[in-house]
Amino acid sequence: MAHGIGAFGKILEQLETELRKLRDSRDKSKQQITGLSQRLTTIIREEMKLRGEFADLRKQEDNLLKKRNDMKKKIDSLNSEIKKLASAKQKLQKI
């Protein structure tokens, strides 16, 4: 019977060793998951920040395009006024 108890003790020791290995592996996996989760959170925050900056740049672009179009209209209006004045000048010179 003593022989059976010794074998049981060895098996128990092996099981405890395997259990320790599994716990260590589990803890390591938890640490990796925590690290990956933190990195993902950082990446998501950065993405949100970049999306905000992109939206701001889009607004600035829209404002600049509007200003450019307004300037074009003013230039066209001034060119039209110049043509009218040139025409009036020619008429005055003929008189």
Encode pLDDT of 42-53 as tens digits: 999 999 999 999
Is residue 92, in this structure, part of any structural domain at all? no
Is residue 83, in this structure, part of any structural domain at all? no
Specify the number of domains making up the chain: 1
Is residue 13, in this structure, part of any structural domain at all? yes
The share of the chain scoring above pLDDT 70, in percent, equals 96
Is residue 49, in this structure, part of any structural domain at all? yes
Give the span between the Cα atoms of 26 and 39, in whole angstroms. Answer: 20
Is residue 52, in this structure, part of any structural domain at all? yes
Residue type, 39: R
Asked whether residue 31 carries a pLDDT value surpassing 80, the answer given is yes
Q: Which domain holds residue 64?
A: 1-68
Is residue 82, in this structure, part of any structural domain at all? no
Asked whether residue 58 carries a pLDDT value surpassing 60, the answer given is yes
CA distances 10 to 15, 19, 24, Å, are 9, 14, 21
Is residue 1, in this structure, part of any structural domain at all? yes
The share of the chain scoring above pLDDT 90, in percent, equals 84
